[in-house]
Structure 1
Amino acid sequence: MTTQIPTNPEDLRQIMDAMKEISNSLARMDAERELIREILLKLNDDYDLNKKYMRKVANIFHKQNIADFKEENQLVEEVYESLTRG
């Protein structure tokens, strides 16, 4: 890996285009995060649903990984109980 910036104008243009594309992508990500925050706030306001838990539910729903979530929570519970017995 190098930190030397190319001097070829075409290479510089391609690098700048890549930076612009990344910046645009980051702007879209920021907007989507804000939308998610607004939706969670509305769910909380309208239905008194905890934002923290609804965010987790949304992530599970998106990833379709409820089985993994249950397994992980079971393992965490088992470890916790093993450590705190006595």
Structure 2
Amino acid sequence: MIDKPGGEVAVTQGGFEAALEGLQAVRGKTQWINQQVSAGKLSLDPEVAEKAAKRAEEEVQELISCAHAGCQAAWPRDGLG
């Protein structure tokens, strides 16, 4: 990996490109959700939020496993499951 200006990371190894794209998509969605919550435009039921966080963690683990296996999965996925 190579660090780029602005905190971005360039991936130089095959299967990690798909994982990086998926993680960047998750990061973007997380930032949007946090902005909406901070602005009072969105509220989350704690139980639903916990389920969503668990699913997001599962998807990250799938991305990591895929990257280690060198597969080219279709990431980012739409939604959290």
| TM-score computed with the length of structure 1 as normaliser | 0.34
Higher helix proportion: 1
Q: Which has the larger radius of gyration?
A: 1
TM-score of the aligned structures, taking structure 2 as reference length? 0.36
* Structure of greater relative contact order (alpha carbons < 8 Å, 6+ residues apart): 2
